[in-house]
Amino acid sequence: MDSDAPHAPCREHPGSFKLLGAETPHRPVLFDEALRLLDPQPGGGYIDGTVGAGGHAAGILEASAPHGRLLGLDADAETLALARERLAAFGARVTLVHANFARMGEVARSHGFDPVAGVLLDLGLSSMDVDDPARGFSFLREGPLDMRYDRAQGQTAADLVNTLSEAALADLIYRYGEERRARGVARRIVARRPLHTTIELAAVVAEVVRGRPGLHPATRTFQALRMAVNDELGALEQGLAAAIDLLQPGDVVAVIAFHSLEDRLVKQTFRREAQDCICPPGQPVCTCGHRAALEILTRKPVVPGAEEIARNPRSRSAKLRAARRI
């Protein structure tokens, strides 16, 4: 999610959300489209690996009533507390666990969700995180350089910014932020450190990178640090592998990604797992023994319509892909 329109769970409309300070009822990103692809059935067991404030989860629980069960994971303990409150009405049909979805396999097995009938990942950070300066995700709000989804463990953005070598910082900013001025940014950061706050870092980046309308100069550097702090691509790779493993034939994994590196990883994983042979092209005889596990349901990613983008600008970069276990 990547704009600044605040939104929070809407108590008046179960399964929907409301923009703070506005009257428009507001649903989580690509809500109908994700539900249509997952097609929850009464009695199935589902995993929401990024339960967030519980909007998609509530939709899955409503669609799988009366006996459908949901295992919701979130790396962020505070967000999970909100989901707990939000989903309390579903009682014992919901199990919520504070965990990274990279560990989905073991968590699912230990809570009786193996196999499952569908898995949803709605990647990135919640709007509550963007809007909370204390989390350090926003370059527009003064806060500590934290950026961890799970504040109980791991290195913060400040740790990376203040201890990595210039070359390692440049590599990280280039690889995860696709920032063409990565070397210049890294050089300037090293010259100015220690850096402690989001605004300090954003100002240093803005000395090197020119923004353009709609793109703050620090956007790519902040994205890169967030991805590195949370090992987002590593977690996604492990989460997808676990999801494919947990599904039974006919069941669906759906992923909503918000930037190109994540979306590319989802697309490539689905493509690879939809093929029988993954030997290098030109190899005359197959030696890999790989067998297709997925059928791709979305040739092109599903994206929000103009109406959803107008209602929720944060949805504008969302891409939904889904595949069915065969």
The nearest distance, CB 125 to ligand SAM, in angstroms, is 5
By the rule CB under 6 A, 308 interacts with ligand SAM: no
> Cβ neighbours of residue 307 under 8 Å, at least 6 residues apart?
none
Residues 237-256 that bind ligand SAM (CB under 6 A): none
**Tokens of residue 6, six digits:** 């605040």
In sign, the C-alpha dihedral spanning 84, 31, 247, 300 is negative
In sign, the C-alpha dihedral spanning 220, 223, 225, 228 is negative
The nearest distance, CB 251 to ligand SAM, in angstroms, is 19
Site string for ligand SAM, 103-142 (x = CB under 6 A): -------------------x-xxx----------------
Size of the site for ligand SAM (CB under 6 A): 23
The nearest distance, CB 149 to ligand SAM, in angstroms, is 4
The interface region with ligand SAM, picked from 69-77, 88-96, 135-143, 299-307 by CB under 6 A, is 69-77
The nearest distance, CB 108 to ligand SAM, in angstroms, is 13
By the rule CB under 6 A, 95 interacts with ligand SAM: no
The radius of gyration computed from the CA coordinates of the chain, to the nearest angstrom, equals 20
In the complex, which residue's CB is closest to ligand SAM?
A: 52
By the rule CB under 6 A, 220 interacts with ligand SAM: no
| CA–CA distance, 3 with 19 (Å, rounded to integer) | 13
Q: Which is nearer to ligand SAM, 61 or 201 (CB)?
A: 61
Largest distance between two CA atoms of the chain? 63
By the rule CB under 6 A, 56 interacts with ligand SAM: yes
Helices of type H across 151-218:
157-163, 166-177, 182-192, 198-206
Looking only at the bridges linking them, the beta strands covering 116-122 and 247-257 are: parallel
Tell me the backbone φ, ψ of residue 6, rounded to 5 degrees: -70, 140
Q: Is residue 58 helix, strand or coil? A: helix
By the rule CB under 6 A, 55 interacts with ligand SAM: yes
Please report, as ranges, the residues that interact with ligand SAM according to CB under 6 A: 1, 28, 49-50, 52-56, 73-76, 79, 100-102, 122, 124-126, 149, 235
